[in-house]
Chains A and B, each alone.
Chain A
Amino acid sequence: MRYQKVPLLFYDFFQGMGEVGLLFSRTIKNIFKKPLEKDIFLQQVEEIGVRSLPVVSMTAAFGGLVFGLQTYIGFHRYVGPGSEAYGGPIISLGLSKELIPLLVGLMVSGRVGSAIAAEIGTMKITEQIDALFSLGADPNKYLVVPRMVAAFLVLPCLTLYGDVIGMIGGFFYNVVVMGVNKVIYIKNTLLYFELWDITTGLIKAAIFGIVIAIIGCWQGLKAEGGAAGVGRATTRAVVIANIMILILNFFLSKALPASLGG
């Protein structure tokens, strides 16, 4: 039995990868096909974007505060008292390239990825997906395309918003709470922080958006076995998307150039 389980796990993994790949390529092909589902797209922008603002605000603010705190401690301990004001660019760079896209990706995955899987999974087990087919509508075009496009466009916007909140958090902790020199902090940030640092985070966020939507839709469309099946699909959607986000984050950090300045 033990010998059989390992190949089965590999089989499941590669089958899953194949299914996600097919779903993604089908979705790309369907993006420009008519009819464009504008209403559903706008609903998804609201669902994924507007309704994620409170959770993104909280995570970005506290992410910025704690990153500001640790950077302060680091400079204070290893470089010496007075050097904390040089932490500004590091805080901004770390937040915009890594922490905020990752936090936004994970939070939106938990909030939206699960909701997508639950909604589509419920539609599947109540024959609503079959009803779409029977009405001559392609469920991929109707359900997957608007969600993927909305997540692809909205995640970078949420990340940009999170960047601002996070940087304010880092600034607040250092300058307001710890009394770091405001002028040096801002001057250093403007001197060493590049637009590319923000762009890197936005590229990552857009890719995370695709991952969240595609995995949520894939799990929803695969759901079977009643309410318990929808529950399993929801859990799997979040777990798989989160793991993929963490893995992709590393490879994207490695692949994207550190700076465009040379």
Chain B
Amino acid sequence: MIQIIDLHKSFGSNKVLQGVSLDVKKGETLVIIGQSGSGKSVLIKHLIGLIKPDKGKIIVDGIDITQLREDELYKARRKFGMIFQSAALFDSMTVAQNVSFGLERYSKMSQKEIRKRVAESLAMVGLRGIENLLPHELSGGMKKRVGLARAISYGPEIILYDEPSTGIDPIRADAINELIIRMKKEINVTSIVITHDMVSSYKVADRIAMLYQGKIIETGTPEAIKKSNNQIVQQFIHGSAEGPIENW
């Protein structure tokens, strides 16, 4: 469904991605792990065209999105839903306005249908009766869930999760993990999760890929990753300060 081919991206002299290649199959949950600052967010932002690569291709359902014109890119983005690290809710809008943002603009649904879809999307992430609250009235975990409700409300085929468990307590983080699994089961979406939280990774992943020094150095099922012979992977998944990874 998604093919990333030899992706390169630099910011000034900082080479962030140096030939990333990766395949994501339809309906699978791929977790990309890596150190903070390793370029995971940069990689995920390439997928929806927020960042243009210096070199390389991103093929989504047979279309190279790096070659799309801007208006085509806006349409292509509607295939994706993205959950941001900071939730990125529009802080001047209520929860309902946030969740209905995509529907209001790009669907032909009536106001009644939109209200129903908003309530359904919120219910799916375990939130009810908060439609009229503003983002600053929500906890960190609730914000992430509203972000997810916003992303699923218009029925995307692919959901991108940017550090979904960062900044929330372990119980709420696990609730988010459960939601990621539920989204896959109930609406059969393809998911790409970027994180450095190994507990989450093992729980939600069909496959895990590790990004290190601008390249994918290992890909495999959670079990295969646990048994990897790569010392860098082993150091990272065990969270050890001792090992071949020196820049931390």
Q: Which residues of A contact B (CB under 8 A)?
A: 35, 122-123, 126-128, 130-131, 133-138
Contact-residue bracket for chain B = 20 to 34
A137 to B74, CA, bound (A): 7
| Residue pair B86, A127 in contact (C-beta under 8 Å) | yes
Evaluate contact between B105 and A35: CB separation under 8 angstroms.
Answer: yes
Determine if B105 and A130 form an interchain contact, defined as CB atoms under 8 angstroms apart.
no
Flag if B77 contacts A133 (CB, 8 Å): yes
A126 touches B88 (CB 8 A): yes
Check A128/B102 contact, CB under 8 A, given A134-B77, A136-B78.
no
Would you give the shortest CB distance from B66 to chain A, in whole angstroms? 15
Q: Beyond A128-B91, A136-B77: 5 further Cβ-contacts under 8 Å?
A: A127-B88, A133-B48, A134-B50, A135-B102, A137-B105
Q: How far is the CA of A107 from the CA of B89 in the complex (A)?
A: 31
Q: Are A126 and B48 in contact (CB under 8 A)?
A: no
Choice from B50, B106, B150 contacting A130 with Cβ under 8 Å = B50
Is B202 in contact with chain A by the CB < 8 A criterion? no
User: How far apart are the CA atoms of A126 and B136 in the complex, in Å?
Assistant: 13
User: Does any Cβ of A come within 8 Å of B80's Cβ?
Assistant: yes
List the A residue with the shortest CB-CB distance to B81.
A134
The reply to whether B84 and A130 form a contact with Cβ atoms under 8 Å apart is yes
What 6 pairs across the A-B complex have the smallest Cβ distances?
A: A127-B88, A131-B88, A134-B82, A136-B78, A136-B77, A127-B84
User: When A35-B105, A135-B102, A136-B106 are in contact, do A127 and B80 touch as well, CB less than 8 Å?
Assistant: no
Question: What is the distance, in angstroms, from A27's C-beta to the closest C-beta of chain B?
Answer: 14
Q: Check if B75 sits within 8 Å of A136, measured CB to CB.
A: yes
B45 within 8 A of A: yes
Expressed in whole angstroms, the Cα–Cα distance for A136 and B48 within the complex equals 9
- Bound CA–CA A134/B82 (angstroms): 6
> Which residues of the partner chain A approach B151 to less than 8 Å between Cβ atoms?
134
Chain B, 33-81, CB within 8 A of any chain A CB: 45, 48-50, 70, 74-75, 77-78, 80-81
Whether the Cβ atoms of A138 and B50 lie closer than 8 Å is no
The contact of A135 among B70, B85, B101, B160, by CB within 8 Å, is B101
B121 smallest CB distance to A (angstroms): 13
Q: Which residues of the partner chain B approach A122 to less than 8 Å between Cβ atoms?
A: 91
A18–chain B nearest beta-carbon distance, Å: 18
Structural contact, A131 and B82, CB atoms closer than 8 A: yes
Name which residue of chain A comes closest to B74, CB basis.
A136
Taking the closest CB of chain B, its distance from the CB of A16, in whole angstroms, is 19
Chain B residue at smallest Cβ distance from A131: B88
Q: Tell me the smallest distance from the CB of A174 to a CB of chain B, in Å.
A: 46
| Other-chain residue from A35, A128, A137, A138 in contact with B88 (beta carbon distance below 8 A) | A128
Q: Which residues of B contact A134 (CB under 8 A)?
A: 48, 50, 77, 80-82, 84, 151, 160
Sample of 15 A–B contacts (CB below 8 Å): A126-B86, A126-B91, A127-B84, A127-B88, A130-B45, A130-B82, A130-B88, A131-B89, A131-B90, A133-B48, A133-B77, A134-B82, A134-B84, A136-B75, A136-B102
